[in-house]
Amino acid sequence: MWSTNLNTSINSDGGFLSNTRKDGQGGNVQRVQTLIPVTIKLLHSISPIEDPTFWGIKARMFTFVGLIRNVEETATKISYDIEDDTGTITALKWLEANKQETDRVAEVNTYVRIVGMLREQNDKRHILILRLLPLQNLNELTNHILEVIYASLKAEAKLNKNRKLKKNSTNEVSNEDDLHYGMSSQQSLVYKIIYAQNDTECGIERSEIKKKVPKSILSDVDNIIEFLVSEGHIYTTSTDDHFKTT
């Protein structure tokens, strides 16, 4: 996923509109779009169509790669039936009457990359084409598949992280007593020290825990850690001396 300043001011009736909007003080506000690589199957499953979201991220523009299976041209638009390994969708390109276009129709059975916006009419989804580019070689197809996988994993990880942060915040406020149920004050202290480092890659190392505890319980740290591991409150990560909470 990435931001783009691509002009997205085509409306579904053809022609162009201004790609800025007026704010309350009469100024212009430029909209920065998020361009998301997808498969055709994802285009059919994204919802809601009026305000599409992808793993919790709002998006108006999508890019996908597919094979042209059919082309229909009229005086005002060109309609492409695009297919990939996951499905088929129609993509529409509105023609500008005041612009002379050459070689504007891509050929059947050629691969193209399309950038566009998702629309729906008569319960049938289609793509409003902003840009259509023939693939130069099939490496671009492989690259697009990798982009889709990367974007999906990145977005899913971000969504899960936000959910975890929200859940942890709720637990800290309303369930702190339940979180440390059955622990002594010393065990709870060590648990909190480990918990505070959960966002790091490997958690916290045993020697760092010992640096953070009061001297009065320093000699008991190893036993406390062993207790927390055995009770399932913490676990080891990269080594037997690095810990995170469950």
For the stretch 79-118, pLDDT in tens is 999 999 999 999 999 887 665 554 467 889 999 999 999 9
Q: Quick one: pLDDT at residue 201? A: 85
Strands, sheet with 242-245, edge to edge from the N-terminal-most edge strand: 204-205, 242-245, 234-236
Q: Is residue 172 part of a domain?
A: no
Q: Are residues 39 and 79 in the same domain?
A: yes
Q: Is residue 66 part of a domain?
A: yes
Residue of 1 and 54 predicted with greater confidence: 54
Share above pLDDT 70 across residues of the chain, in percent, rounded to a whole number:
74
E-state strands within 102-197: 111-121, 124-134
Q: Quick one: pLDDT at residue 16? A: 33
Q: Is residue 6 part of a domain?
A: no
Question: 218 pLDDT exceeds 60?
Answer: yes
Please enumerate in sequence order all residues whose Cβ is within 8 A of that of 132, keeping only pairs 6 or more positions apart, or say none: 80, 91, 93, 106, 112, 113, 114, 115
Q: Are residues 111 and 200 in the same domain?
A: no
Residue 3 — pLDDT band, cuts 50, 70, 90?
A: very low
Q: Quick one: pLDDT at residue 106? A: 85
Evaluate if pTM is beyond 0.75: no
- CATH code (residue 113): 2.40.50.140
d(CA 34, CA 21): 17
Q: Is residue 19 part of a domain?
A: no
Q: Is residue 191 part of a domain?
A: yes
Question: 210 pLDDT exceeds 50?
Answer: yes
Closest by Cα among 83, 82, 102, 107 to 92: 82
Q: Are residues 81 and 154 in the same domain?
A: yes
Q: What is the pLDDT of residues 131-185, one digit of tens each?
A: 999 999 989 999 999 999 988 888 778 777 766 776 665 555 444 554 556 788 8
| Average per-residue pLDDT for the chain | 79
Question: 7 pLDDT exceeds 50?
Answer: no
Q: Which of 119, 143, 160 is the last residue of a domain?
A: 160
Burial tier of 151 (Cβ tally within 10 Å: 0-12, 13-18, 19+): buried
Q: Which domain holds residue 78?
A: 35-160
- For range 180-205, the mean pLDDT: 86
Q: Quick one: pLDDT at residue 84? A: 95
Of 27-36, 159-168, 184-193, the range with the lowest mean pLDDT is: 27-36
Q: Quick one: pLDDT at residue 30? A: 44
Q: Is residue 29 part of a domain?
A: no
Question: 12 pLDDT exceeds 80?
Answer: no
Q: Is residue 146 part of a domain?
A: yes
Radius of gyration of the chain (CA): 27
Q: Quick one: pLDDT at residue 160? A: 74
Residue of 127 and 123 predicted with greater confidence: 127
Contact by Cβ (8 Å): 94, 10: yes
Q: Are residues 146 and 193 in the same domain?
A: no
Q: Are residues 152 and 57 in the same domain?
A: yes
Share above pLDDT 90 across residues of the chain, in percent, rounded to a whole number:
41
